[in-house]
Amino acid sequence: MGQEIDLLDLYPRSKRPIDERGALATDENKRIAKQFGQQYFDGDRMFGYGGYSYQERFWKDTVRRFRDHYRLTENARILDVGCAKGFMMYDFKKLMPQAHIEGVDISTYAKENAVETMKPFIHVGNAKKLPFQDNSFDLVICINTVHNLKLDECKLALRELQRVSGGKAFLTVDAWRNEKEHQNMLKWNLTAETYMHADDWKKLFAETGYQGDYFWFIAQ
């Protein structure tokens, strides 16, 4: 197994209305959010992002952090699993013009509304079965995606991340480390099917043979 490391520490943070969502979110909100369509990406905050548009400040420093940490060559092959509208892919391409960048997302809406130059490189698909050969990429990144699958499918997805990577991978998943974070997660979560204590995630990584790096999405 890789190391627990926060490679999103340069990503801008904002205060989340956790108590508000916890009080107002309904099963219908969650049902619609899990469709990963217009409402999830560009609808009201009670369904997801509350508007997901490109802003350079979000990924610019983070993609450089990935490049430097993993010592990627200029022509590296990089895969973003759960790439949404391709914003991180786009900033990788600006930073590393010779790199080969691909993405996978379950949302047809996300691909249709992606950064135009990234659309040809986004595949509509599921993390539990990636459309690539073994060891196809120098780095596989998967941010806040695997936890949207049920446990058995999570296991498949973790094995797939390991399979298509050349050994370098990074993922984040919904987790908690204490009871306050647990309660915040229960209030905030709309789409995750599998969320658990960080120690239990580590056990799952070991069980599935995932050897990449990892960190947690903590609701706070």
Query: Which domains are seen in the chain, by residue range?
Result: 18-47+55-217 (3.40.50.150)
Structure-token match 């340069």, residue found? 10
Measure the CA dihedral 12/201/32/39, to 10°. 20
Mean pLDDT along residues 30-59: 91
Higher pLDDT, 46 or 143: 143
Least confident of 20-24, 83-87, 112-116, 135-139: 20-24
Share of the chain above pLDDT 90, in %: 83
78 CB-near residues (< 8 Å, 6+ apart): 72, 89, 92, 96, 99, 100, 101, 102, 137, 138, 139, 140, 141
pTM score: 0.95
Between CA 157 and CA 210 the distance in angstroms is 10
